Amino acid sequence: MDLRTAWQDHADAWVRWARSPALDDDFWQFHLPHFLNLLPPPGRLTVDVGCGEGRLGRILAAAGHQVIGCDATFPLVKAAAEAPQPGTAVVADAAQLPIRDEAADLVIAFMCLHDFDDMTAAVTEAARILSPDGRFAIALLHPVFTMRLTGTYADEQLYTLTLDRAGQSMTYHGRHRPVTAYTTALAAAGLAIEMIREPLKTKSGKNTMPFLHLLARPSSTP
């Protein structure tokens, strides 16, 4: 099964999970504030690639961003459009975004590049739509975590991760890739990394969930 089909099959479960602070506490109580701290101020256009049911786009819109969300999964885009504070979202492949060249001053790939079958093409598209002075903000499950699910660090491998909380479950499907896979894709697309962060969630004194944040810009930017 390809990753797009896997997420299509779990779309309803994801909407329930993503919108509940009790279920997806990693996002609401830890990950979100770290990621928001990475982002530049609102500009003329923010493109949320792999937007899912639109929660991050709604948060950014409330903070003044002009947001367009893109996701290949129709049920998730429909959920974004029908949310209590609906945002602008379109059904679109991350490798073929319906946005003109250099239109966005901020492109976001929040916890989705490891969910794409063709990550390199998605990074290339992000670079295409990014203005010369724009930024590309990325959040990932850290590869040192996903390697635990696959048993390898250097090789790309599919993984699944099922979490159970409060009588609900959510199965994540993704592809483990080493850090160099992402840095190579960014460089090939003409993007230079200007910031790397590794937020590390701890619970009861134990490290439980490492994330990886990257902020990149066109390499021609001063």
The string of pLDDT tens digits covering residues 124-151 is 999 999 999 999 999 999 999 999 999 9
The string of pLDDT tens digits covering residues 173-197 is 999 999 999 999 999 999 999 999 9
pLDDT, residue 222, reads 53
pLDDT, residue 220, reads 77
Residue 68 has pLDDT above 60, yes or no: yes
129 in Cβ contact with 102 (< 8 Å): yes
pLDDT, residue 1, reads 64
β-pairing, 130-141 vs 104-110, is parallel
Q: What φ, ψ does residue 105 adopt, rounded to 5°? A: -95, -5
Percentage of the residues of the chain whose pLDDT score is greater than 70? 96
Domain 3-142+178-218: which CATH number of 3.40.50.150, 3.40.50.620, 3.40.190.290, 3.40.50.720? 3.40.50.150
Residue 69 has pLDDT above 70, yes or no: yes
Going from N- to C-terminal start, the domains of the chain cover 3-142+178-218
pTM value? 0.94
**Both tokens assigned to 213:** 């944040």
- In three-state secondary structure terms, 183 is helix
**CA 112 to the chain's CA centroid:** 4
- Distance in angstroms (rounded) separating the CA atoms of residues 172 and 106: 26
